[in-house]
Amino acid sequence: MRRVTMRLALAAACVLMLAAGFLRAEGAQNGNPGWNLPPTAAAEKNPLTVNPAVLAAGRKFFVSKCQRCHGPEGAGDGPDADSNFAERMDLRKVSRAADNPDGVVFHKIWTGRVKPKMPPFADELSREQAWAIVAYVQTLRTMK
């Protein structure tokens, strides 16, 4: 009986390790290495109607939560930015738009990641506030 239990536990561990590796590889294939994104993230749309009030709110939250790393214009040059990852932190890059639709940006804000470091903001922002940041951040791409 112990051997059967041990084999089942070992098989379950192998399946979990393979699944974790697949999820990491999937994120890397989509241009989002290191992020823990749900499979539906790319299809999620911003539930807010983007208008000047939403963009102003998004900018306010960006300034208070994101600017210290991403910089005032989203160039990845804030005082707390990791210069080794400045290129990835530049939110203005139109070439990365396909890898960062609304839902992906939302989940990056919401859950963060370890390296390069991005703190999660799920405990500091409401979902509506995070979506307002998404709306604002998406406008930065037109700046460059």
Task: Per residue of the chain (144 residues), give pLDDT as tens.
Answer: 666 555 544 444 444 443 444 343 334 435 567 888 999 999 999 999 999 999 999 999 999 999 999 999 999 999 999 988 888 899 998 988 889 999 999 999 999 998 888 999 999 999 999 999 999 999 998 654
Confidence (pLDDT) at 97 = 87
The structure's pTM equals 0.76
Tokens of 85: 């990852």
Q: How many CB atoms lie within 10 A of CB 70?
A: 24
Which superfamily does CATH assign the domain made up of 34-143 to? Cytochrome c-like domain (1.10.760.10)
> Which residues contact residue 127 at a Cβ distance below 8 angstroms, ignoring those fewer than 6 apart?
110
Question: Residue ranges of the domains in the chain?
Answer: 1-30, 34-143
**What pLDDT does 12 receive?**
46
Question: Which pLDDT score, from 0 to 100, does residue 17 have?
Answer: 43
Q: What is the pLDDT of residue 18?
A: 39
Residue pair 23/32 in contact by the 8 Å Cβ criterion: no
